[in-house]
Amino acid sequence: LATLTLPTGFAWNAVLLGYLLGSIPFGYVLARLKGVDLRSIGSGNIGATNTGRALGKPLGFLAFFLDFAKGWFPAAFVAGWFLNDSAALTGNLSLAVLAGAAAVAGHVWPIFLGFKGGKAVATGCGVLVALDPTIFVLGGAVFLITAFSTGFVSLASIVMGLSFPVIAWQVMGEEYGSEVPLYCVAFALLVLWRHKDNLKRLMGGLEPRWRGRSKD
């Protein structure tokens, strides 16, 4: 299996640009336009869930789409700008993975908000769609099954994240090498860590279901 190859020279700019794009706090910006500070409402998270809670579902969906796009764009296009080949996946898959991972890091630790950001689910899934949508579709099915069978969005996010490495190794490992599965492992661990408070509430029977006023 191919291993993750670090970029050299000018190609590092793709990683930097990915991080800066990921650092744009779309949910926070949408809320500020409405005169609301997301960090003082609900869970205090700047992601789509808390945006929807504070501003309504339409703006929550918009925040999700924008957070999703800022993960997809660096992996799908930005990496290719810094390669001889115009397509990131045929030029250097490792750089596409690293640029996407940098966007996820930017969302979680945004330089524009004192390195206090969201939970990475939407942005990380955007990266996966750029790398291979099959992994996202199969993981998304896991999310929907878990969410509708249990009623917990947080649990569904965790289970989906943990399913990604399994899907990647089984379905994509032979085709692409180890870059995508390694990203999926790192993403799964990050999702698990960022939802540690939700896990505590789930184990304590205190986590609201998705139809309630969740603090996810």
CA 73 – CA 18 distance, rounded (Å) = 8
CA 78 – CA 85 distance, rounded (Å) = 12
Q: Angle at Cα 203 formed by Cα 202 and Cα 207, nearest 5°?
A: 20
pTM for the model stands at: 0.84
In this prediction, residue 210 has a pLDDT band, given cuts at 50, 70 and 90, of low
Provide the phi-psi class of 151: left if phi over 0, else alpha when psi is between -120 and 50, else beta.
Answer: left
Q: List, for residues 3-33, the tens digit of each pLDDT value.
A: 667 666 777 888 999 999 999 999 999 999 9
Listing DSSP states for 79-99 in one string gives HHHTSSSSSHHHH-HHHHHHH
**Burial 164-202, CB ≥16 within 10 A → b, else e:** bbbbbbebbbeebbbbbbbbbbbbbebbeebbeebeebb
CA 22 – CA 38 distance, rounded (Å) = 18
Using alpha carbons, list the distances in angstroms from residue 33 to 30, 49, 103: 5, 17, 23
Q: List, for residues 57-91, the tens digit of each pLDDT value.
A: 899 899 999 999 999 999 988 876 766 544 444 44
